[in-house]
Structure 1
Amino acid sequence: MTPSRSRRPPGRAPRTARSTAAALLAVLLTVLSAGSTPASVSSTPAAAERVAAGGAGGGTSSWSVRPAGPADRTAFVMDSTPGVVVRDAVRVSNLSEAPISFQVYGSDAYNTPRDGALAYRQAGEAQTGLGGWLTLRTNALVIPPRRAADIPFTLSVPADAAPGSHVGGIVALNNAVEQAGEASGVDVGIQRAIAVRIQLTVAGPFTPGLAVRSVRVRHHAAGTPFGGARATLTYTVVNTGNAALRPTVSPDVRGLFGWRHKHFPDRTLPLLLPGQKADITADWPDAPGLDYLTASVHVTAPGLPGTSTESSRVVVSWPTIGAVAGVLAVLAVALDRLRRRRPGGTRCIAGGKS
């Protein structure tokens, strides 16, 4: 079966770090797509990865990875039924003036919890999804300068594959280690990699779904009376269906009487895979010091009805409340003294009969 033409640029892959006896090796996995713009940073516990446009590296170590065949294919987008074997090829191009040695492997895609960035598993990790269904004709090769190699591969869809979206990629890791200086007394090296995304849709019931959970306003009052407060809005977007989606979120915060305090700009998240989530944090530097706030987050995706979740809380600035209480106390004392001194107040008259 031949996959359909690409409709989206590839995603991204994670940078990882490992220790050796003499040095710390930070592995930077950079996912690239021709003609796309740089995407945001995602992270793993060890390190981070960045998605950029074009090829990776520069000077003597520049290369690219994309589907073999027509130039307009920037990702593999496939449709299949369970039990089918799909055949295609990936092209790895050496754009530099020196030979490059590569490790090439299939990888599962996943969303990093923070911001939902699309990432790929390392070669040494267990590939339990689409990455494990891939078999490349070779996993190691050296490409001469200014040359390209097409690597055929098969994608064996299991007979019991769940219907819906399955996303992974083919990663080309440069075996060369670039020295990146020293950190904490340890020499640091970087390896770079590029991945091209594979998005497979397995035939069957298609049930897209999104949900917003854990909406919360975290309030940080100023340390001085009537000072400006800071706040952060946090929430989690979850893909509850079996289709990969690009959600768009629209957060909003209103006060006690429905007054809109803050409307955060609409934000389109990275491709969110089935069962995956994205934890989002939005800064609010000019939050009110005292109010009853209701935060609402609306999420939608193309072809999917929107859904919203909200939560409410009282926000308090204790320095402001203390200052107001002090002013009220002074006013109360002043009014009481004024009342006692008014003419015509109650008088006590002493003496006998006239």
Structure 2
Amino acid sequence: MRSDRPPGRRPGTARALAAVLLAVLLTALLPGAPPAAGASGSGAGSSGAGTGGGSWSVRPAGAADRAAFVMDCAPGTAVKDAVRVSNLSGAPLSFQVYGSDAYNTPRDGALAYRQAGEAQTGLGSWLALGTNALVIPPGRAADIPFTLNVPADATPGSHVGGVVALNNAVEQAGQAAGVDVGIQRAIAVRIQLTVEGPLTPGLAVRSVTVRHRPEGAPFAGARATLTYTVVNTGNAALRPTVSPRVRGLFGLRRSAFADRTLPLLLPGQSADVSADWPDAPGVDYLTASVRVRAPGLPATTAQSGRLAVSWPTLGVVAGLLGSLAVLLGRLRRTRSGATSRAGARS
């Protein structure tokens, strides 16, 4: 049987290898199943009343259902109330009590209070306590009266601080570098004051960024972290709810993080938030968006994009493309030669 194929030329084999390389290439580049929704934990905010390891507690005096002091008044007003410190243990406890400014910690915006030795420039400086030190017998409680003197030039909107009770007892917490480490526990009862005047609530999202960390193996996945900053741009304290999302090119890959509500965000304060995507693609163009909203406010959204690159994966893909180009070139030359020989015979 005569064959027109030149020795060593097997176009069928070349076609098969080209098809295999093309299939591998497409498998590497096409998206897999979308990752499961995930949420990173939110920072813990102050809840108002609380207990110190079960041995003592602090809460507003009077009605048992009050967890915090919530006040509305005009500038120049003096408001009187009291905080109750209870000794739930079987031994006397000694406390230092003081007024404090509240602020949001940079990470996750947790509500925190300034220490006694720090300068109090806001609501903490407006508080006058009936006493700053007390010893409470076991099983007893003490009500500490205070007066909140709102300055005549206080700006309208939210002002947040608290009454802090610091247990003078030092608890041993182990050693660090050969030195004994002790801790003191403190509880703050929140005071949330709204000064009369125009309220202009506002929220913004800034610095939306995707950090991409690919695995070292080709075609392996990656870990990505979405970071962003939520800013309270108005004069009212708000609890923002954020909806972060990341999607790949043409929306083929999506990560839907769970919505989360941030701690109480004070005017002029911000919260740096992050969310992990453990099953991110090794190679893709990722677009991240964060939508933030709060009751009574229209939602606002910010987004950014970046090219996610895995160099091992790109190296293998480049090799596959090069091999595919060589095979296709050989196949083209084989077909061209066969056509020429067929024309010469005719």
Pick aligned residue for 2:118 from 121, 125, 128: 125
1:214 shift after superposition? 0.4
What's the secondary structure of 1:116's corresponding residue? coil
For residues 1-354 of structure 1, the aligned pairs below 5 Å read 54-58=50-54, 62-259=55-252, 261-342=254-335, 343-346=337-340
Q: How many residues align?
A: 300
- Read off the aligned partner of 2:135 and give its amino acid letter: V
- Read off the aligned partner of 1:57 and give its amino acid letter: G
- Read off the aligned partner of 1:280 and give its amino acid letter: V
What's the secondary structure of 1:123's corresponding residue? coil
CA separation in 2, counterparts of 1:51 and 1:206? 24
Alignment TM-score, normalising by the size of structure 1: 0.81
- Read off the aligned partner of 2:60 and give its amino acid letter: P
CA separation in 1, counterparts of 2:70 and 2:279? 44
Larger mean CA deviation between 147-156 and 251-260 belongs to 251-260
Cα pair distance change 1:324/1:40, threshold 3 Å: closer
Cα pair distance change 1:273/1:207, threshold 3 Å: same
CA separation in 2, counterparts of 1:192 and 1:332? 69
- Which residue in the other structure is 1:7 paired with? none
- The percent of aligned pairs where both chains have the same amino acid is 78
The question of whether the paired residues in 2 share the 8 Å contact of 1:251 and 1:263 is answered with yes
What do the CA deviations read for 1:150-169 (whole angstroms, capped 9, x no partner)? 11111010111010000000
**Greater relative CO (CA pairs within 8 A, separation 6+):** 2
- Read off the aligned partner of 1:198 and give its amino acid letter: I
Superposed CA RMSD in Å reads 1.8
Cα pair distance change 1:262/1:41, threshold 3 Å: closer
Larger mean CA deviation between 301-310 and 241-250 belongs to 301-310
What's the secondary structure of 2:158's corresponding residue? strand
1:51 shift after superposition? 6.9
The question of whether the paired residues in 1 share the 8 Å contact of 2:108 and 2:271 is answered with yes
1:345 shift after superposition? 4.7
- Which residue in the other structure is 1:16 paired with? none
1:41 shift after superposition? 5.3
1:301 shift after superposition? 0.7
The question of whether the paired residues in 2 share the 8 Å contact of 1:40 and 1:50 is answered with no
What's the secondary structure of 1:216's corresponding residue? strand
- Read off the aligned partner of 1:271 and give its amino acid letter: L
1:221 shift after superposition? 1.5
What's the secondary structure of 1:162's corresponding residue? coil
CA separation in 2, counterparts of 1:81 and 1:150? 26
Q: Which has the larger radius of gyration?
A: 2
The question of whether the paired residues in 2 share the 8 Å contact of 1:217 and 1:232 is answered with yes
CA separation in 2, counterparts of 1:154 and 1:207? 28
| Structure (1/2) with the larger helix percentage | 2
1:310 shift after superposition? 0.8
The question of whether the paired residues in 1 share the 8 Å contact of 2:49 and 2:59 is answered with no
The question of whether the paired residues in 1 share the 8 Å contact of 2:95 and 2:167 is answered with yes
What do the CA deviations read for 1:71-129 (whole angstroms, capped 9, x no partner)? 11111000110011111111111111110010000000000000000000000000000
1:54 shift after superposition? 4.5
CA separation in 2, counterparts of 1:275 and 1:52? 21
Alignment TM-score, normalising by the size of structure 2: 0.83
1:317 shift after superposition? 1.4
What's the secondary structure of 2:185's corresponding residue? strand
The question of whether the paired residues in 1 share the 8 Å contact of 2:83 and 2:144 is answered with yes
What do the CA deviations read for 1:320-354 (whole angstroms, capped 9, x no partner)? 1110110111122222223333453547xxxxxxx
1:303 shift after superposition? 1.4
